Amino acid sequence: MALSVEASEIVEIFQWMESEESYDLSSEKLEKLEGEIADVLLYLLQLSAKFEIDPVKAASRKLQVNEKKYPIEKAKGSAKKYNEF
Ligand SMILES: [Mg+2]
């Protein structure tokens, strides 16, 4: 639950921003983002440790799965889901 709240705090930073502003954060917003990214990472690491999951290996495996689901020649520049190609 805390992980979800912290992820939402990241979203909150960008809520109501125009796209252009979201790519050029003020130093105050950037500092806030850094803190919230740290919060999310710390909760993820706690969860990973609890279930003895190596988060780097998990991410690597997921990238391999996504590479097959979303081959670059079909997915590049597309927002379609893998079953919509
Ligand atoms: Mg926080």
Please check whether residue 46 is in contact with residue 57, taking contact to mean a CB–CB distance below 8 angstroms: no
pLDDT for 24: 94
- Ligand 1 centroid vs 48 CA: distance in angstroms? 19
pLDDT for 61: 97
pLDDT for 42: 98
For 20-63, write each residue's pLDDT tens digit: 999 999 999 999 999 999 999 999 999 999 999 999 999 999 99
pLDDT band at 82 (very low <50, low <70, confident <90, very high): confident
3-class SS of residue 19: helix
Please check whether residue 9 is in contact with residue 19, taking contact to mean a CB–CB distance below 8 angstroms: no
- Ligand 1 centroid vs 44 CA: distance in angstroms? 13
Report the C-alpha gap between 81 and 46 in whole angstroms.
Answer: 31
pLDDT for 78: 87
Please check whether residue 2 is in contact with residue 41, taking contact to mean a CB–CB distance below 8 angstroms: no
- Ligand 1 centroid vs 30 CA: distance in angstroms? 13
> Domain locations in the chain?
1-52, 54-85
